[in-house]
A = this chain, B = another copy of it.
Amino acid sequence: MGEETPVVVGLNAVIVAVTRESPRILTITASRRGPAGSGRDPTWVDGDVLPYGPLDPAADRTLELALRGWVAEQTGLEVGYVEQLYTFGDREREGTRAGGVPRVISVAYLALVREKPPPDTSRARWRDWYTFFPWEDRRNGPPKLVAETIRPALEAWVSEAPAALARRERLERAGIAFGLSGSAWDPDRVLERYELLYEVGLVWESVRDRGRSETPDRATVLGRPMNADHRRILATGLGRLRGKLRYRPVVFELLPPSFTLTQLQRVVEALVGIRLHKQNFRRLVGRGGLVEGTGEIDADTGGRPAELYRFRREVLRERRAPGVGLPGVAARS
């Protein structure tokens, strides 16, 4: 059965680093198979892709090893923390769509790198992830984008529903995803929001996938797009990372060995996209035993010098779910 259609396993990586207050992911500028400037905005056509490498079924012993291998090769980065995200295998994926010969199965990984060495490969490049998901950054309050563009579009989409029941369901769904009409904003629902916007037609990819009849209008479309379904993979990664922060001390994979508490807080805020109460945050990480002070002082704060802290590895033994403590979330004792 199906011996004729070969299967190719691809490995995608969402490689995350945080510089100052900016969370970044590594992207590759795609080399386009067809001619570049074919009428569309070339920026969109030669879109970004996530770093990608195929699995060599004969040579690679392990998926994760294969991933680490080609990431090191392609980007020169030694990734530390690696976690498998999700496996995507829909046939609709661009590039495999219309009778394309091989069936592509993509296994996506999340990788965290500590420092931010500039990628030495010419085509690799760090980008702030909020350029792909501008609606996800609420550190300065809910972005205007949501009130001005997304919300009206969602309301239109809700009222366009054929039946009353479908209308209710759409209303519900939009409310949960974007924290409207009484629901709270849940930072983890990145994928849900992206998929909703895709369905509503507010992202470039949905216009692209609907067929070539419509010309995607850059103005009505939100965030920087990516090729194929890579933005969906990226959304999966961000959601997973945000969730993981709550119950695993993964932030420290993104920080230098010693840091001030404010630095730590800024990184968490950058990832989660919201601001945190400073005093409570430090109480939480301190009393929770997540960090311990080194005696050293960082005088480069602009105000009173801050003590430098380091991650306490022992916390893994002591606490049940040593996350960083986010609002609305009890730090499980």
CA–CA, A57 and B8, complex, Å: 10
| Interface mask (A1-28 → B, CB under 8 Å = 1, otherwise 0) | 1101111110000000000000000000
Given the complex, which residues of B lie within 8 Å of A54, measured CB to CB? Answer: 1-2
For residue A5, which residues in chain B have a CB less than 8 angstroms away from its CB?
A: 57-58
Name A328's closest neighbour in chain B (CB-CB): B320
Residues on B with C-beta less than 8 A from A63 are 87, 89-90, 105
A62 touches B91 (CB 8 A): yes
CB-based nearest B residue for A66 = B89
Rounded to whole angstroms, the CA-CA distance of A89 and B107 in the bound complex is: 10
CB-based nearest B residue for A171: B317
Chain B residues with Cβ below 8 Å from A55 are 2, 7, 89, 105
> Could you tell me if A57 and B7 are in contact, using CB atoms closer than 8 angstroms?
yes
**In the bound complex, what is the Cα–Cα distance between A65 and B117 (angstroms)?**
42
Q: Report how far A176 CA is from B109 CA in the complex, Å.
A: 25
Taking CB atoms and an 8 Å cut-off, the chain A residues in 247-268 that contact chain B are none
Asked whether A333 is an interface residue with its Cβ less than 8 Å from the other chain, the reply is: yes
Q: A183 vs B315: C-alpha distance in the bound complex, in angstroms?
A: 10
Q: A62 touching B90 by the CB < 8 A rule?
A: yes
Assess the A1–B56 pair: CB atoms within 8 A: yes
Task: Point out the residues of chain B lying under 8 angstroms from A40, CB to CB.
Answer: none
| Known contacts A7-B7, A58-B2, A186-B320; A331 and B333 CB within 8 A of each other | no
A residues near B (Cβ < 8 Å) are: 1-2, 4-9, 54-63, 84, 86-87, 89-92, 102-103, 105, 107, 172, 175-176, 182-184, 186, 316-318, 320-321, 328-333
Some 11 contacts from A to B, beta carbons below 8 A apart, are: A4-B58, A7-B55, A62-B90, A105-B107, A172-B316, A172-B317, A176-B316, A182-B317, A183-B318, A320-B328, A329-B330
5 closest A-B pairs by CB: A330-B330, A57-B103, A5-B58, A63-B89, A5-B57
